[in-house]
Amino acid sequence: MAQKSLKKNAFLNIFKTFLGVIFPLITFPYSSRVLQPNGIGKVNFAQSIVTYFSVFAALGIYMYAIREAAKLRDDKVKLSAFCKEVFILNCISTLIAYICLIVAIFFIPKFVAYRAVLLVCSTTIIFTTIGMDWLYKAEEDYFYITIRHLVFQILSLFFLFVFVKTEADYIKYAGISVFANVGSNVLNFFHAKKYISFRSIKIGNPLKHLKPVMVLFGMSVAISIYTTLDTTMVGLISSDYQVGLYTASTKINKIVLQLVTSIGFILMPRLSYYIGKKDFQSFNRLVYKSVDVMFLISIPCAVGLSILSESVILLLSGAQYVRAIPVMRMMNPIIVIIGMGSLLGSQILIPMGKEKYTLISEIIGAVSNFTLNLVLIPRFQAFGAAIATVSAESLVTATQLFFARKYFEVHKFSLSFLKYFLNSVIMGITVFFFIRFFETQYSKMIFGIVTGVITYFLLLLLERNSIVFEILKSIKQKIVKNKQ
């Protein structure tokens, strides 16, 4: 099978991620003002509960299937058999998870008031399973993924403005969110015939995949605990209002994280492919390059958002979310921390088959997050959850760095971090003093972003950054080619 262009994949995924940035910037200011903190809080609390059952339904299959399908993609017969076996296993786990969720919704007293929104959000589980999104990631079919995503985001935007008009429309908002995120998975099921055949392919026992996915399942459980537990515990211990504040404070962080962590998911199929071919030279070269790209993006984003937190919250969420500003500032470091952790896990440990090390780190994160949430949320509410999340993510990344150190040279990691950190600090200081000349939050944010981008780009040019010069060289070559 012909190698797909990593540059093309990266461009398509960046474009998809860009859409993932633009659409929330359009929808969240509208939905947060219409639904208010309480409405946003109800939906996000329900989504956090459904996430736990979604993790059981997924059973760790997503990462396992991407890795193994990438190794088999040159053989359609073997790939088809593998996909059928994994899909059947996924359907079994989904049925069990859904039954458990329905029982919980109708028999746990706390969930009675959220029954309708929980049922709507629960459809995510079914759509995720039938979508087989892991097949398209393994095949690196980013063109289809991007176009599909664009169409459903546009439709969701239309539905939002038409159907969500008052605070009472939070259930409609939940349904539109499901449609935006996984509604397109129905198309995936039928489009899968491009890569696999569901006919006349003998399959083995689907349960044979159960053992290898269990480590990844454990990892997924741990991840879901320390990434979702904060919202769940704020809802259980505090109120929908505090969940709304916490959601507003983390919304932009999560948008930026989509871009940062997408680097790892773009490269994981190719890295697994290199390992399958025993091409460790190409593997190492790609890992070191991705380290540079990850820091180049994540560090200035974290610093910039820290400077502009007030403007971001007030403009995107409204004055009623003003108490979310310190929470957002506390959360900003996770852009870099999770970016590092994603790189270590999805690009080094998992492709190397060292999932157990990733699992250990995630368990440490889950335990620490639960403990810190229990202590900090009653006293500091949403801000306490932010402290717990940053602390837990730091422990996860530190643990993964300890285990991954034998597979790459740590000093290259450190030098790359230091280089971009210093540039980002200079950029941050420049932005901080520049925005003091503006009075409105809109002016501060627009001119702050422009100043930050220009300053950072000039600093990279002055140090003759290899990534920037490679991009400029590529652009120059295309211009010359078009003129000929």
Q: What is the DSSP string of 78-111?
A: HHHHHHHHHHHHHHHHHHHHHHHHHHHHHH-GGG
Query: How many angstroms separate the CA atoms of 197 and 101, rounded?
Result: 32
User: Where does the pLDDT of residue 380 fall: very low under 50, low under 70, confident under 90, or very high at 90 and above?
Assistant: very high
- Residues whose CB is less than 8 angstroms from the CB of residue 283 and which lie 6 or more positions away in sequence, other chains included: 271, 274, 275, 351
404: pLDDT strictly greater than 90? no
- Sequence letter at residue 276: G
Read off the pLDDT of each residue in 429-444 and give the average, rounded to a whole number.
93
Task: Specify the pLDDT at position 226.
Answer: 67
Label residue 380 exposed, middle or buried (CB < 10 Å: 0-12, 13-18, 19+): middle
457-476: per-residue pLDDT in tens?
A: 999 999 888 878 877 877 77
116: pLDDT strictly greater than 70? yes
Identity of the highest mean pLDDT range in 287-296, 335-344, 403-412: 335-344
Sign of CA dihedral 224, 225, 230, 236: positive
Query: What are the angstrom distances between the C-alpha of 358 and each of 61, 117, 341?
Result: 15, 33, 9
2: pLDDT strictly greater than 50? no
User: Where does the pLDDT of residue 9 fall: very low under 50, low under 70, confident under 90, or very high at 90 and above?
Assistant: low
Query: How many angstroms separate the CA atoms of 336 and 294, rounded?
Result: 8
Asked if residues 408 and 264 have their Cβ atoms less than 8 Å apart, the reply is no
| Burial 214-237, CB ≥16 within 10 A → b, else e | ebbbbbbbbbbbbbbbbbbbbbbb
Query: How many angstroms separate the CA atoms of 445 and 443, rounded?
Result: 5
Task: Specify the pLDDT at position 272.
Answer: 60
Task: Specify the pLDDT at position 1.
Answer: 44
275: pLDDT strictly greater than 70? no
Task: Specify the pLDDT at position 203.
Answer: 66
Helices 115-131 and 76-107: angle between axes, nearest 10 degrees: 170
Query: How many angstroms separate the CA atoms of 89 and 305, rounded?
Result: 42
